Amino acid sequence: MTTALVIGAGVAGPVLAMALQRAGLHAEVYEGDADLADERGSWLTLQVNGMDALRAVDAHHVVAGLGFPTRRMRFFSGTGKELGVMSMGEPLPDGTVSHLMSRSDLYRALRDEAVSRGAEIRLDKRLTGATRIGDRVRAEFADGGTAEGDLLIGCDGIRSRVRAVIDPGAPPVRYVPVLNVGGFVPDFPLDTPSDEFQMMFGKRCFFGWSATPDGGVGWFANPPRRDEPGPGVLSAMTDADWRSWLLELLAPDRSPACDIVRAAPGPLFGWATFDIPRVPTWHRDRMIVIGDAAHATSPAAGQGAAMAIEDAVVLAKCLRDLPVDRAFTAFEGLRRERVEAVVVAGRRGSSQKAAGPVGRVFRDTFMPMMLRRMSAKGGVSPDWLHRHHIEWDETTHV
């Protein structure tokens, strides 16, 4: 049986392990972290195309009970003026819609399901290098251990070591000029629909919030920062630093943002945002990268998890139907245009959040017109994004 060495156990890795198993391949998953605390990030939206992709490997039920349904986004200016509404994608035939959920809950659910199907996730196995040996690949880890398989798949995120092994000249990550901070506040009732994410283009800071069915609120903020923070700068900021800065940025706006920040349990901490404009080389010598390792996008696109899931399913199909080298070529042909369009959309969305005085005027003038046109059509979202469907039983051709 063909064995794939899967590097990384975030979203793409566990889904890939399940998809490869269904395709008749064996997967060994190696994770660099020594534990799976998953404290990075807070909330994410798994949009309907990601939910649909999980159906291809009969794993949609794993996430159906996580978080809560989110059908649309409603945008406001910092003055409280409503700018318009955008759908989070048309429901799937069975009524499934996008879900807002804890990132750690999603990671845990996917890993648990992969393990329940026989996958083994080996922790504290940080990849340092990999070499092709004939028709095999040998992976080397920081603890001195090695592993051999028929191919190696990098699901190791935006700072991918596999990407660097495949192409030492791969472009570096690109800083996106907004930071991220967020969390959940229990017992914070808001008079807003629980299936609606509300977002504000504040005068000095972008802020989003969503009432939860249990009476709480999930929230995030994107404080703008033009220059990339140096090592240790953000980690040195205390809860009080983050809280006072956010309150200062959000004070001019008409929204519940300041009340949410004051009520948010601590400690608050933030992180920088990065993307990768284009990775020229995805595969070489029976090694390939997928997910954020191949096409990291800003969180503004809301598609990072969904793209990783789609990648995992499509790659498993290609490997089921084609020899390794041809499978990698077919995968790239099927995925590159789509995922790079998402990266562009994410960059554009983040730039709007960090607009200066002139940019804010331009944005607040033209965005309502765009959203009104979309609202007239029911607040529809781009069909190419949300109605993408992967048919597992279709044969893959180069």
Give dist(CA 110, CA 25) in Å, integer.
Answer: 18
Residue 158, domain member (yes or no): yes
- β-pairing, 99-102 vs 120-122, is unpaired
Residue 396, domain member (yes or no): no
Which residues have CB under 8 Å from 65's CB, separation 6+? Answer: none
Residue 184, domain member (yes or no): no
pLDDT of residue 5: 98
Which H or E run includes 386? Answer: helix 383-386
Residue 13, domain member (yes or no): yes
Percent of the chain with pLDDT over 70: 91
Residue 7, domain member (yes or no): yes
Give dist(CA 270, CA 234) in Å, integer.
Answer: 7
Mean pLDDT calculated for residue range 141-163: 97
Cis peptide before 267 (omega within 30 of 0): yes
pLDDT of residue 12: 97
> Domain count of the chain?
1
pLDDT of residue 357: 64
Burial-class residue 389 by CB neighbours within 10 Å (0-12, 13-18, 19+).
exposed
Residue 150, domain member (yes or no): yes
Which H or E run includes 61? Answer: helix 60-64
Residue 286, domain member (yes or no): yes
Rounded to two decimals, the pTM is: 0.92
- Which range of residues forms the domain containing residue 106? 3-67+102-173+277-366+382-386
Which H or E run includes 366? Answer: helix 357-376
pLDDT score of 55 more than 90: yes
**Where does the pLDDT of residue 281 fall: very low under 50, low under 70, confident under 90, or very high at 90 and above?**
very high
Residue 341, domain member (yes or no): yes
Give the CATH number, domain containing residue 132. Answer: 3.50.50.60
Secondary structure letter of residue 124 according to DSSP: S
**Where does the pLDDT of residue 379 fall: very low under 50, low under 70, confident under 90, or very high at 90 and above?**
very low
pLDDT of residue 277: 87
Task: Select the more confidently predicted residue: 294 or 43.
Answer: 294
Cα torsion angle, 69, 73, 78, 84, sign? negative
